[in-house]
Amino acid sequence: AAMAASEEDEKEEEELRQRFMAPPVSGLRELRRRRRELRSRMELLIMETQGEVCRALAALDPGAAFAVDTWERKEGGGGISCVLQDGEVFEKAGVNVSVVFGLLSEEAARQMRSRGKSLKAKDGKLPFCAMGVSSVIHPKNPHVPTMHFNYRYFEIEEADGTKQWWFGGGTDLTPTYLNEEDAIHFHKTLKEACDKHDLKLYPKYKKWCDDYFYIKHRGERRGIGGIFFDDVDSPSKEEVFQFVKSCAKAVVPCYVPIVKRHCHDSFTPEEKLWQQLRRGRYVEFNLVYDRGTKFGLLTPGSRIESILMSLPLTARWEYMHTPPESSREAEILEVLRNPKDWVH
């Protein structure tokens, strides 16, 4: 029986290996040994999501391949960055996994306290563990939207040994030109994932997304939204994990059909130029406001290349650029200034 069990184990490990882009940070044996613990299940989920998304994107861009880069953080943990550059369909597509642990920096703790977290440090030290999968996909064709998603889990041990934990994440779309059909498909797919768990979630997290991806100095959103949430720690660990899992599983179906529909659309040099200007806005948001980028830049030993993977290969900033009234360029700006309800 023991022989059969170990053969079973090996078979299962081999199957997991096939699905992942690289061996997991915590090691496959260790993850399977502690498979009942939520931390292990979350790490398996982010590894699986990375594999799923990379395979789906590679299938759309057969001439290109993902460079798989495994890195270690001397303070604890590491990650796997998968980046495809200069393909036929994707200018740059990155899907990152990171699993880091150690002591929270004073800066990062301050950022969390400012969000209302009461963190009681022991001798000024707060052990933490953070893991997540995050991705930004910048296509070449201006008729294919940029997409971003991120799902993460955080755990902090306070002075008295109690653990604070929460999940965060979201998926959002940034088109260069507005296509209503795409917007509806994207939002509907995310709504279905949320509705499986609670009908209140989609409207709440859709609004949160519109409010979060707001470029204050421009008075416009980064894109047409999706869902976004952070600091979610109820109703229970298991229920939130299952919800996050549904969201992660919705990534491929909400985006891949849109890429397929438009990756061969013809476009003009003017449309490409508008895409470059919109990319500039993307960069502005990520460097000025994005909490994940800020947290990464404040965490000692974090990997800058992986954090800034979200930036496009190319972007443009023109002085005082204003699109002509009632143009397709003006149409998207209108939606970025006044978010719409896409599913009702």
Residue 224 DSSP label: S
How far apart, in Å, are the Cα atoms of 249 and each of 70, 135, 243? 24, 14, 10
How many CA atoms does the CB half-sphere of 199 hold within 13 Å? 0
Q: In angstroms, rounded to a whole number, what is the distance separating the alpha carbons of residues 126 and 76?
A: 14
Question: Can you give the three-state secondary structure of 241-284, one letter per residue?
Answer: HHHHHHHHHCHHHHHHHHHHHHCCCCCCHHHHHHHHHHHHHHHH
DSSP-derived letter for residue 121 is -
Longest dimension (CA), the chain: 74
Cα–Cα distance, 216 to 166 (Å, whole number):
27
Residue 63 backbone dihedrals phi, psi, to 5 degrees: -75, -15
The active-site residue, picked from 138, 148, 197, 262, is: 148
- Residue 165: its H or E element: strand 163-174
Is 148 considered catalytic here?
yes
What is the SS3 assignment for 84? strand
Residues 87 and 255: their CA atoms lie apart, in Å, by 18
The alpha helices in the chain, defined as continuous H runs, are: 2-19, 28-33, 38-60, 106-113, 180-195, 201-212, 237-249, 251-262, 269-288, 291-298, 304-307, 328-337
C-alpha to C-alpha distance for 175 and 119, rounded to whole angstroms: 39
3-state DSSP assignment of residue 175: coil
Active-site residue list: 148
